[in-house]
Each structure stands twice: as structure tokens, then as C-alpha cells.
Amino acid sequence: MKKNILLIHTGGTISMQLNTETGGVILSAANPLALEIDNIQQFANITEIEAFNLPSPHITPGHMLELKLMIDQGIVDSSFDGIVITHGTDTLEETAYFLELSTNYNIPIVLTGAMRSSNEIGADGVYNLMAAVRVAAADNANDKGVLVVLNDEIHTATNVTKTHSSSVSTFQSPQYGPIGIVTKSAIHFHHAPLARVHLPVKDIQKKVAMFKIYAGMEPDMLQSVASLGYDGVVLEGLGQGNVPPALLPGIQQLLEKNIPVIVVSRCFNGIAQDIYAYEGGGKMLKDLGVRFEHGLSGQKARLKLLLELCLG
């Protein structure tokens, strides 16, 4: 018996076309995927809705919240067995992680996209969509959190990131790898997340800034955060979570104003931790009251802090 899948479109390259006159990829008024839905229906009963038609750099946390509310309504009001969301790849990992934090369902929620538009040679959108629907309809995809499916790989929303600007194999989970694969005949999972964090946000009214730390970084931008009305700060620290000493007064000022400061590592692999006790080292930051997030990228740590602040 085929399962019922809610397919939500948000835009991105998967629903764009290459303009042969200008050579640029542009939004298409008619979603090119619409012609392929009949072929994908062999794997599940598809109900389509369009949330918005936006390139992914236009997506904001407000749009992510809209998606979350659509998912809530779709699951509560209808008997869907899974959700598939098409999304541009630039911010796909952020939307996926937002939904991982803000939803708490046992059915699969799967995001997918494309690196090549529908009329380019080697277009990957239809195949990725078909794979995502197959994963969403698979019994063994339940209770694994929000998933990202592209290029025959299944990744968790928490770990996946875009690692290449144009390759079809861009989505990887550094240090962890995919949790499953899509084959011609089956969906295979070889491990699963150990735990999930649930932050049931209902509105987005806070602002969180993020800075990538670099050698000799000047303190003025960090010091301006409070005056600009930001509610929290994420720092992508050097190595295991260290900063130039010039930033320490600014960090201390933020903490004294009850503006939380989170540190992650700017490295793809490894985690930030309070090891070094020299000025600006992770141990000194921890002693000041800075919080370390283990295993999250800067952009995901920013979303997590944002949702925490919105929940008060």
C-alpha cells in the first residue's frame, strides 16, 4: 500500500531553468518538476503545495517558521506518512536544522534540492526528488529526525553541510558521514541519531549575530553588537575555540549585559572545547561565561541560540 506524502516546494535550483540567452539560472513561473510528478507517484501518493518560490539566499528564519507551521498543520489535519521539502541548496542545511529543532514528529521530514537546473545536462533535481520521496515513504526512516537526501545519500540535518560550490556531491557530514544510502531497490540505514533537541518556537522576534574569527581581528564590530540591538552572538573560534586577546573586553561587556556568547570551531572536523588557558584561549572564555557548542557549525549554532532566545 502506497504511503501519503506531502510535498512542499520553496523554490531554488530544483525548480529553476537555465536561460539559454543570458546563461543565467532563473526562477521559473511553472515548476519544471510538475511534469515529473506522475512518474514519482509510483512510489507514493503525492499532495503538492507551494510555500513560496524563492532562491535560497532569500530564505529567512521567518520563512523557516512558516514551513514549520505548514508541517504542523499538515500532520495534524491530514494523514500524511511523510513530508518532502524542495529547497535551494545555499541555505538548505539551515532550514533543515531549524526544522530539526522546532519539530518533534516520528514520521520522516526530508529536504532535497538540485545543483543543476532542469534543462542543464546532468540535471539532478528529479532524481533527488524521487530519492527523497522514496526515503520519506520508507518505514525505516521513521524516528530519525529531519533528513537531507541528495546524490543517493541520507544525512541528518544536524551534521550535513554544503562543502562544494557546484558539485552534485556537495552535501557531506564532516566527521560523521551519511547515516544511510538510497539504492535502486531499497533504502538502507546503517546508523541513527542518538538524541534530539526540541525547541518548539512559535515566533521569531530576536536577533543573533555571527562572526568568523580571524588572525588580528579588530574588536569594534563585536563591541557594536549590543548597541545594534542583537540578543546573542555566535563566534566561529580558531582551532578548538580560541580568539585573539583584543576581543576579550568586548566579549566580557556582552556577557555583563546578559547577551549570551556561543563559541564553535571554524574547523570542519573536531569540536570546540575549553583547553587552552592563555589569554583568549578556550579555558579563559569558558571561565568568563562563554558557552561552547560541540559539533555544530556557526550557522547552525546561530539558529539554535536564536530559537532558545525566542523561547525565553
Write down the catalytic residue from 10, 13, 91, 161: 13
Q: Is 158 a catalytic residue?
A: no
SS (H, E, C) the chain: CCCEEEEEECCCHHHEEECCCCCCEEECCCCHHHHHHHHHCCCCEEEEEECCCCCHHHCCHHHHHHHHHHHHHHHHHCCCCEEEEECCCCCHHHHHHHHHHHCCCCCCEEEECCCCCCCCCCCCHHHHHHHHHHHHCCHHHCCCCEEEEECCEEEECCCCEECCCCCCCCEECCCCCCCEEECCCCEEECCCCCCCCCCCCCCCCCCEEEEECCCCCCCHHHHCCHHHCCCEEEEEEECCCECCHHHHHHHHHHHHCCCCEEEEECCCCCCCCCCCCCCCCHHHHHHHCCEECCCCCHHHHHHHHHHHHHCC
Catalytic residues: 13
